[in-house]
Each structure stands twice: as structure tokens, then as C-alpha cells.
């Protein structure tokens, strides 16, 4: 038994509900009211490490069951480390569509740094040749590491991996993106991680990711 509130504003749809002791907030832009109601009716909580046997979408602590074809899919999840509150981890799974630009892994990497995230007023990538080969979900991608200059002139660090999807693959092979960032202002009194530490965390997270 649960209660839920649904809302909408222009092209944004969402709901707030409470299930099994967990508060769930869902917002999507754009989204139809039909899809929002479908998500509300099919969302449930998920234990740490649980891999549901039925088809659907896994989110942190949640699972949305669905057997509908995901003709359009863009799913991003964000994590923060308890031991290091200044570290933010973002992972995105983007279904490849026929009408979208087919950027290579490196082109996607450059695009994110220059225009997609807006992480600060300047980014300086490390190394004479900053683009390196990195595997994500067992697929070959491009990784880079940089120093971020914030708008207040403070500095932080970011680690980025991008993998180009394959529209012609026999199985679902989406664009993948992993971004690991230090935000020293969010350290909550703890010592912020160093540049070497944030790069190591990024490499370890990239090596651990496997789509199922």
C-alpha cells in the first residue's frame, strides 16, 4: 500500500511516492503522462547488488520493470562516496538512434569537456596527448583527466570516459559515459581527495562497470 503524487510543468512530468520505507522522486523531460504513470505503477525498491530476473531498468535502490521496447533511452545515475563526500560519480547509458550524430568516442569526450557539463570556466586536460584507451563494460573507449577551474577560481579534478555505441550491432550497444569529479567545496570538513586519488577512483569504477 502506498500513496503517490503526480505533477507536470510544461514538458516535464514526474511523481513522488513512498514504497517499502523508501521515498521515490521521479522527474523526466520530456515525458508523456502515459509513460510517467507506467513508471509509477512499475517502480519498486531494489536491494544492493540485486539483479532482477525480469526485464527492466535498474537505478540506485530502485527497479522499473518493463517488457516494452525502449525505442528511446537516456538513463543517468549519480552517486556520492560516503568516505569521500567530495567525489561525485555519474554514469549514463544512451541508446543509439538513427537520427542522432554518430560521434566517435574521442569526439564525444571532447564535446563533454567543452560544452555538455559546464563544470567550470576552464578545463586543462593532463598530458601531451590526453586521450587514452580505456575499457568500459568491456568495450574500447576514450578516457581523459583534467584540472577544472571553477568560476570562483578554485580548482578541482575530473575523470571522463566515453564509449561510442553501435547502431548496427545485433545486441543493444549504447553510448556510454562515465564522469568522476572532485568538488572540494562538498568535502564536509574532510580532506578532499588528491588529483591522483580521483584518477585512481575513476579507473577503478570504469573497470567495475558491466551492463547486464
**What's the mean pLDDT when you consider all of the chain?**
85
Domains of the chain and any CATH numbers: 4-68 (no CATH), 75-208 (3.40.1000.10)
| Residue pLDDT, tens place only, 82-95 | 899 999 999 998 88
**pTM (predicted TM-score):** 0.79
**What is the DSSP annotation of 134-181?**
EEETTEEEEEEEEEEEPTTS-EEEEEEEEE---TT-SS---EEEEEEE
Q: What is the largest CA-CA distance in the chain?
A: 58
**What is the DSSP annotation of 51-107?**
--SSSEEEETTEEEE--S--SS-EEEEEEE-SS-TTEEEEEEEE---TTS----HHH
User: How do 139-149 and 122-125 pair as beta strands?
Assistant: antiparallel
Q: What is the DSSP letter of 150?
A: P
Residue 1 has pLDDT above 50, yes or no: no
pLDDT band at 183 (very low <50, low <70, confident <90, very high): very high
Return the SS3 of 59: strand
Asked if 165 and 175 count as a contact pair (C-beta separation under 8 A), the reply is yes
| Residue pLDDT, tens place only, 95-150 | 888 877 788 999 999 999 987 566 778 899 999 999 999 999 999 999 999 999 99
| Residue pLDDT, tens place only, 140-155 | 999 999 999 998 999 9
**Pairwise CA distance, residues 77 & 90, whole Å:** 6
Residue-level length of the chain: 212
Mean pLDDT of 10-19: 74
Amino acid at each position: 500500500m502506498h500513496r503517490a503524487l503526480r505533477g507536470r510543468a510544461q514538458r516535464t512530468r514526474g511523481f513522488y511516492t513512498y514504497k517499502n520505507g523508501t521515498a521515490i522522486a521521479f522527474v523526466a523531460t520530456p515525458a508523456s503522462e502515459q509513460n510517467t504513470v507506467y513508471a509509477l505503477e512499475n517502480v519498486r525498491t531494489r536491494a544492493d547488488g540485486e539483479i532482477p530476473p525480469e526485464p527492466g531498468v535498474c537505478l540506485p535502490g530502485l527497479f522499473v520493470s518493463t517488457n516494452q521496447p525502449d525505442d528511446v533511452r537516456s538513463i543517468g545515475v549519480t552517486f556520492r562516496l560516503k568516505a569521500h563526500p567530495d567525489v561525485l560519480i555519474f554514469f549514463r547509458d544512451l541508446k543509439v538512434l538513427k537520427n542522432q550524430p554518430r560521434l566517435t568516442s574521442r569526439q564525444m569526450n571532447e564535446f563533454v569537456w567543452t560544452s555538455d557539463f559546464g563544470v567550470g570556466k576552464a578545463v586543462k586536460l593532463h598530458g601531451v596527448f590526453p586521450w587514452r584507451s580505456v575499457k568500459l563494460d568491456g568495450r574500447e573507449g576514450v578516457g581523459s583527466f583534467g584540472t577544472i577551474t571553477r568560476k570562483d577560481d578554485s580548482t578541482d579534478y575530473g575523470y571522463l570516459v566515453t564509449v561510442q555505441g553501435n547502431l548496427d550491432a545485433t545486441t543493444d550497444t549504447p553510448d556510454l559515459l562515465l564522469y568522476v569529479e572532485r568538488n572540494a567545496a562538498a568535502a564536509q570538513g574532510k580532506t578532499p581527495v588528491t588529483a591522483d586519488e580521483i584518477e585512481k577512483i575513476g579507473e577503478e569504477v570504469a573497470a567495475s562497470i558491466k551492463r547486464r
